[in-house]
Structure 1
């Protein structure tokens, strides 16, 4: 099984309501996530399910990725809210009917999930838009790659600059 952990894109510094939970992606954040999602499509990432924090910045990120990859709309999970990290969600994700699952959320939760699966400390850096691939066997996993947005965007831009072969 493969799990992809994705940190939400660049969000507003504050919401009109003053509540962190209401912050949305900025226009730049939406553009960068679209570019990152295009790179994921080039890498032939095909999650069977995308689970997302219900916070707008994460849900918007998940929806942009789902639309770009041609995946089903994301499923919002309260457990993916900031400070909502728990191993019960990972147990749910390790459902044998799925081969590829994408989880869109926040820091430090994402580092904690990867640490739980792969035995790393919680100091993994998830810049906004970073994607981490963890290959899981049983209850343990191994990080096969972690790509920051700059790398994903460079991949998408390089592909767009290169003419398609016929």
Structure 2
């Protein structure tokens, strides 16, 4: 059994104030929302084997705040592919995960994260900021994840 948590970053600052979208940080409200999401995930006993995040500032901040709140004591891995990824790139990145990782958390951006959720489940709405979903796959290897062996488990929203 493999578990995938898909998390969209929390509320970001106005992009007009930044030269590059990559550099846009969270707002104070966004930081608080990431903390609250982390608290909710901890209450639900969510503790992944690995957290992988987009390296964009807002995703990094979200991942780091959530990791702290859930008492994740390993380093967050940053994967450039997650930033502005196409759906097939996300799926390919997930499939490269070592099979000793049974629970994987990905922190990133829309529209690709919503597309990922829709691809594997009957989830039909846009993934909102500071929201997570859990998907389970009935398989032993990340290379085997598929819509046919997936199950939407839970939506975590504030």
Give yes or no for contact 1:15–1:24 (8 Å, CA) kept in 2.
Answer: no
1:83-94 aligned at under 5 Å gives the runs: 83-85=85-87, 86=89, 87-93=91-97
2:6 partner SS: strand
Aligned residues: 146
CA distance in 2, matches of 1:142, 1:124: 16
Gaps of 5+ in 2: 140-144
Q: Could you say which residue in structure 2 is the equivalent of 1:81?
A: 83
Whether 1:116 and 2:125 are equivalent positions in the alignment is no
1:144 partner SS: strand
Structure with bigger gyration radius: 1
Q: What is the TM-score with the length of structure 2 in the denominator?
A: 0.85
Pick 1 or 2: higher relative contact order, CA cutoff 8 A, min separation 6.
Answer: 2
Q: Could you say which residue in structure 2 is the equivalent of 1:158?
A: none
Per-residue deviation, 1:16: 4.2
Give yes or no for contact 1:67–1:73 (8 Å, CA) kept in 2.
Answer: no
Per-residue deviation, 1:90: 2.1
Per-residue deviation, 1:117: 2.7
Per-residue CA deviation, residues 82-110 of structure 1 (Å, 9 max, x unaligned), is 234412112123x3201211000001111
2:152 partner SS: strand
CA distance in 2, matches of 1:104, 1:136: 19
Q: Could you say which residue in structure 2 is the equivalent of 1:18?
A: 19
1:142-161 aligned at under 5 Å gives the runs: 142-148=151-157, 150=158
Q: What is the TM-score with the length of structure 1 in the denominator?
A: 0.81
Per-residue CA deviation, residues 116-158 of structure 1 (Å, 9 max, x unaligned), is 333x47x43211001000001232211111122x2xxxxxxxx
Per-residue deviation, 1:114: 2.1
Q: Could you say which residue in structure 2 is the equivalent of 1:153?
A: none
Q: Could you say which residue in structure 1 is the equivalent of 2:142?
A: none
Per-residue CA deviation, residues 13-67 of structure 1 (Å, 9 max, x unaligned), is 1264421111000111001110110111110001111000010000100001111
